[in-house]
Amino acid sequence: MSRIAESWRKLQFLLRRRQMDKELAEEMRLHAELKAQKNIAAGMQPDEAQMAARRQLGNTTLQQEHSRANWGFPRLESLVQDVRYGLRGLRNRPGFSAVAILTLALGIGSATAIFSVVNAIILRPLPYKNSQHLVHLWSLNTAFPEFHMGMSLPNLDEVKAQTHSFEAFAPYKTKRGTLTGEGAPERVVISSVSSDFFSVFSARPLLGRTFEPADDQQKNGDVVVLSHTLWRRRFASDPHILGRVIHLDQKARTVVGVMPAGFTFPETSEAWTTLTPSAEELRNRTQWMFFTVARLRPAVSPAAAQSELNTLAEAMKTRYAEDMAGTNFLLTTLHDDAVGSSRSQLLVLLAAVGFLLLIACANVSNLVLARGLQRRHEIAVRAALGASRSRVMRQLGIENLVLALAGGAVGLVLAAYGVSAFRQLAPADFPRLDELRIEPLMAIFALLISTTSGVLFGLAPALTVSRTDPGTAMKPRGIENPTHARGFSLRDALVVIELALAMLLLTGSALMVQSMSRLLKVDTGLRTDHLVTAELNLPPARYSSENSQVAFIRQLLESLAAQGPISDIAVSNNAVLDQNTSLISFDPSLNGSNEKKTNLESKMVSPGYFSTLGLHLINGRFFDEHDTKGASIMIIVNQSLANRFFPGQNLVGRSLRFSGEGKDQYTVVGVVSDSRDIHVSAKPRPEVYFSLLQDPSRSLYVMVRSRLEMPAVRALLEKSVWAVDKDQPVSKVRTMAEVIAESVADRRFRTWLMSAFAVFGLSLTLIGIYCVISYSVSQRTHEMGIRMAIGASRENVLGLVLSSGARLAAFGALTGLVASFLMMRVLSNQLYDIKPNDPLTLIGTALLLLLVALLASYVPARRATRVDPMVALRYE
Partner 1 sequence: MVRVARKNELLPGTLEMLILQTLTRSPMHGYGIAQQIQQISEDVLQVEEGSLYPALQRLLVKGWVKSEWGLSENNRRARYYTLTKAGRNQLGIEADNFNRMIAAIARVMQTA
Residue numbers of the site for partner 1 (CB under 8 A)?
A: 2, 5-6, 9-10, 13, 23-24, 26-28, 30-31, 33-35, 37, 56-59, 62-63, 66-67, 69-71
Using the minimum distance from each CB to partner 1, give the nearer residue, 65 or 378.
65
Q: 695 and 623 in contact (C-beta within 8 Å)?
A: no
| Phi, psi at 148, each rounded to 5° | -90, 125
Q: How many CB atoms lie within 10 A of CB 194?
A: 24
Q: Is the dihedral of CA 80, 86, 89, 95 positive or negative?
A: negative
Residues with Cβ within 8 Å of 538's Cβ and at least 6 positions away in sequence, in order, are 549, 552, 698, 699, 700, 728
Using the minimum distance from each CB to partner 1, give the nearer residue, 2 or 142.
2
Using the minimum distance from each CB to partner 1, give the nearer residue, 27 or 167.
27
Q: How many CB atoms lie within 10 A of CB 198?
A: 23
Give the nearest distance from C-beta 363 to partner 1 in angstroms: 47
Give the nearest distance from C-beta 71 to partner 1 in angstroms: 7
β-pairing, 223-226 with 251-258?
parallel
Using the minimum distance from each CB to partner 1, give the nearer residue, 49 or 120.
49
Q: Is 537 helix (H, G, I), strand (E, B) or coil?
A: strand
Give the nearest distance from C-beta 46 to partner 1 in angstroms: 16
Give the nearest distance from C-beta 57 to partner 1 in angstroms: 5
Give the nearest distance from C-beta 391 to partner 1 in angstroms: 20
Going by the DSSP 8-state scheme, the letter that residue 83 receives in this structure is H
Residue type present at position 311: T
Using the minimum distance from each CB to partner 1, give the nearer residue, 11 or 818.
11
Using the minimum distance from each CB to partner 1, give the nearer residue, 57 or 441.
57
Using the minimum distance from each CB to partner 1, give the nearer residue, 7 or 345.
7
Q: Can you tell me the distance from the alpha carbon of 305 to that of 292, in angstroms, rounded to the nearest whole number? A: 15
Using the minimum distance from each CB to partner 1, give the nearer residue, 20 or 802.
20
Give the nearest distance from C-beta 1 to partner 1 in angstroms: 11
DSSP secondary structure letters along 184-227: S-EEEEEEEE-TTHHHHTTPPPSEE----HHHHTTTT-SEEEE-
Q: 257 and 207 in contact (C-beta within 8 Å)?
A: yes
Enumerate the β-bridge partners of residue 151.
Answer: 290
Number of C-alpha atoms within 13 angstroms, CB side, residue 669? Answer: 15
Give the nearest distance from C-beta 63 to partner 1 in angstroms: 5
Q: Is 312 helix (H, G, I), strand (E, B) or coil?
A: helix
Residues with Cβ within 8 Å of 501's Cβ and at least 6 positions away in sequence, in order, are 355, 359, 761, 765, 816
Using the minimum distance from each CB to partner 1, give the nearer residue, 23 or 336.
23
Using the minimum distance from each CB to partner 1, give the nearer residue, 33 or 378.
33
DSSP secondary structure letters along 813-844: HHHHHHHHHHHGGGGTTT-SSS-TT-HHHHHH
Element (H, E) at 337: helix 334-339
Using the minimum distance from each CB to partner 1, give the nearer residue, 5 or 303.
5
Using the minimum distance from each CB to partner 1, give the nearer residue, 33 or 314.
33
Say if residue 539 is preceded by a cis peptide, omega within 30 of 0: no
The alpha-carbon radius of gyration of the chain (Å, integer) is 39
Q: 801 and 521 in contact (C-beta within 8 Å)?
A: no
Using the minimum distance from each CB to partner 1, give the nearer residue, 33 or 434.
33
CA nearest to 277, candidates 257, 296, 292, 295:
292
Using the minimum distance from each CB to partner 1, give the nearer residue, 33 or 336.
33
Enumerate the β-bridge partners of residue 168.
Answer: 295
Three-state secondary structure along 47-81?
Answer: HHHHHHHHHHHCCHHHHHHHHHCCCCCHHHHHHHH
Q: 134 and 128 in contact (C-beta within 8 Å)?
A: yes
Using the minimum distance from each CB to partner 1, give the nearer residue, 21 or 742.
21
Give the nearest distance from C-beta 49 to partner 1 in angstroms: 15
CA nearest to 836, candidates 823, 819, 849:
823
Give the nearest distance from C-beta 346 to partner 1 in angstroms: 55
Q: Can you tell me the distance from the alpha carbon of 261 to that of 227, in angstroms, rounded to the nearest whole number? A: 7
**Could you give the maximum distance between any two Cα atoms of the chain, in Å?**
144
Using the minimum distance from each CB to partner 1, give the nearer residue, 44 or 513.
44
Give the nearest distance from C-beta 81 to partner 1 in angstroms: 21
Q: Is 6 helix (H, G, I), strand (E, B) or coil?
A: helix
Give the nearest distance from C-beta 39 to partner 1 in angstroms: 13
Q: Where are the beta strands (DSSP E) in 108-210?
A: 134-141, 166-180, 186-193, 207-208
Burial letters 108-123, b for 16+ CB under 10 A, else e: bbbbbbbbbbbbbbbe
CA nearest to 163, candidates 30, 355, 296, 12:
296
Q: How many CB atoms lie within 10 A of CB 279?
A: 7
> Could you give the angle at which helices 94-118 and 440-466 cross, rounded to 10 degrees?
140
Using the minimum distance from each CB to partner 1, give the nearer residue, 69 or 245.
69
Q: What angle do CA 749, 751, 753 make, to 5 degrees?
A: 70
Give the nearest distance from C-beta 298 to partner 1 in angstroms: 55
Q: Is the dihedral of CA 713, 714, 719, 722 positive or negative?
A: positive
Using the minimum distance from each CB to partner 1, give the nearer residue, 58 or 326.
58
Give the nearest distance from C-beta 75 to partner 1 in angstroms: 15
